[in-house]
Structure 1
Amino acid sequence: MQDINIKITDRNGNLHEVVVPTDMSMNLMEVIRSYEIAEDGTIGVCGGMAMCASCQVYVQHNFPLKEMEADEDAMLGEAYHVQENSRLGCQIPITSQLDGLEVILAPYP
Structure 2
Amino acid sequence: MPTVTYVSPDGTERSVAVPPGTTVMEAALDNGIDGIVGECGGAAMCATCHVYVESEHLAAAPPMTVDEDAMLDEASSARAGNSRLSCQLPMTAELDGIRVRLPERQR
Could you say whether these structures have the same fold, taking a TM-score greater than 0.5 normalized by the shorter chain as the test? yes
* 8 Å Cα contact 1:11-1:38 kept in structure 2: no
Q: Does 1:32 align with 2:25?
A: no
> Counterparts of 1:46-61 in structure 2 under 5 Å?
46-61=40-55
Name the TM-score, length of structure 2 as normaliser: 0.86
> Quick one: percent identity of the two aligned structures?
40
Structure 1, unmatched stretches of 5+, are none
Q: What is the aligned partner in structure 2 of residue 44 from structure 1?
A: 38
* 8 Å Cα contact 1:9-1:16 kept in structure 2: yes
- Quote the RMSD (CA, aligned, Å): 1.6
Shift of 1:10: 2.5
Q: What is the aligned partner in structure 2 of residue 15 from structure 1?
A: 13
Provide the secondary structure at the position in 1 that maps to 2:4: strand
Name the TM-score, length of structure 1 as normaliser: 0.85
Paired residues in the alignment total 103
Give the ranges of 4+ consecutive aligned residues of structure 1 lying more than 6 Å apart after TM superposition.
none
